[in-house]
């Protein structure tokens, strides 16, 4: 289990190379939420997502011999770009395995940093297995997107920034893909003199950690059919599951329709471009599933904003339509 000291070391290592993203207030949602709403927009990070933090901490920690061997990673796109950018900064050769249906904007973003891209499969598990095979065959260092202490510690630096900008934050809500972000944030949140409440949000079609929590062990579930491509995993990580069980207070889920509404809400109220995976925490708020945080100061972490603009326009239109059908209590999102 990573500790606060690991995250502090990560901050010192990567601070010159990442962006301290702002902490924004979204007062327009306070009345609906029942608490003060803050947003940590990691979509404004240098590569468009939080993934640059963990990838940088891992790659900057490699020995000279390991850097010479090169790295390999599996990703739907955001970790890919984070690894590619960090590797380019160090002059390290990077090979990235991405899904066959990866958004073109994420493939192009990854290649723009000089990384080589291989397309393989559709699920996280498929490309992760292939990346492990390539690491063994070619002698590359595997930069796992979430089953790595250095990666998790890097992701946790976002929580340090949240508390630096607003020490009175009492809860953090984040999306759950493989669980690396949630574990990193929780390492900081639970180390405070007064521990913060940690909440994870999954797509309803991919509740691998929620189902695993109910079963008391990490499970493999069926197909994960969701627009949140960064969370299309069919299994709960056996590495991260015990960390989440120990430090995450609640695991919630929201459907794709509410994700579209949340993306629309971010565009309308905060002028932020947010991908489906990044909209999970706000979708939980709009679904009125965060009522147990009433009266608190709550930070919603936007994990990323990398998506095809044509798809984004379509999803926004659908989100607007969904929002316009809500009753007057949610009038803030009506046209």
- The CA distances from residue 313 to 82, 217, 307, in Å, are 25, 39, 10
Rg (the chain; Cα; Å): 19
Alpha-helix residue ranges (DSSP H) falling in 180-275: 180-189, 208-215, 241-247, 256-265
- Give catalytic status of residue 335 as yes or no: no
Element (H, E) at 238: none
- Active-site residue (options: 56, 233, 303, 323): 303
- Active-site residue (options: 40, 51, 106, 190): 51
CB 241, CB 216: distance < 8 Å: no
- Give catalytic status of residue 268 as yes or no: no
- The CA distances from residue 46 to 49, 53, 199, in Å, are 7, 10, 25
110 alpha-carbon distance from chain centroid: 17
CB 173, CB 281: distance < 8 Å: yes
CB 299, CB 38: distance < 8 Å: yes
CA–CA gap between residue 209 and residue 42 (Å, rounded) = 23
DSSP string, 144-179: -SSS-HHHHHHHHHHHHHHHHH-TT--EEEEE-SSS
Residues classed as catalytic: 51, 303
């Amino acid at each position: 289990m990573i500790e606060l000291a690991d995250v502090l070391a990560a901050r010192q290592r990567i601070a010159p190379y990442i962006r301290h993203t702002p902490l924004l207030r979204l007062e327009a949602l306070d009345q609906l939420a029942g608490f003060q709403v803050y947003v940590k927009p990691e979509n404004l990070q240098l590569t468009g997502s939080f993934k640059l933090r963990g990838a940088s901490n891992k790659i900057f920690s490699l020995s000279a011999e390991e850097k010479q061997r090169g790295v390999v990673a599996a990703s739907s796109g955001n970790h890919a770009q984070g690894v590619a950018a960090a590797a380019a900064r160090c002059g390290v050769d990077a090979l990235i395995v991405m899904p066959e249906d990866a958004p073109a904007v994420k493939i192009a973003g990854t290649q723009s940093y000089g990384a080589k891209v291989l397309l393989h499969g559709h699920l996280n598990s498929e490309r992760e297995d292939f990346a492990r095979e390539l690491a063994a065959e070619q002698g590359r260092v595997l930069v796992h997107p979430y089953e790595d202490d250095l990666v998790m510690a890097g992701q946790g630096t976002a929580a340090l920034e949240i508390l630096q900008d607003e020490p009175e934050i009492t809860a953090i809500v984040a999306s759950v893909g493989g669980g690396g972000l949630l574990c990193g944030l929780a390492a900081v949140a639970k180390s405070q003199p007064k521990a913060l409440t940690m909440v994870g949000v999954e797509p309803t079609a991919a509740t691998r950690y929620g189902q695993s929590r109910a079963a008391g062990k990490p499970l493999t579930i069926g197909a994960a059919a969701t627009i949140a491509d960064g969370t299309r995993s069919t299994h709960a990580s056996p590495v991260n599951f015990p960390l989440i069980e120990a430090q995450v207070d609640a695991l919630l889920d929201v459907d794709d329709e509410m994700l579209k509404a949340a993306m629309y809400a971010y565009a309308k109220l905060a002028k932020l471009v947010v991908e489906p995976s990044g909209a999970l925490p706000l979708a939980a708020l709009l679904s009125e599933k965060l009522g147990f945080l009433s009266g608190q100061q709550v930070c919603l972490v936007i994990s990323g904003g990398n998506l095809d603009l044509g798809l984004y326009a379509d999803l926004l239109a659908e989100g607007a339509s969904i929002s316009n059908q809500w009753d007057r209590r949610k009038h803030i999102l009506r046209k």
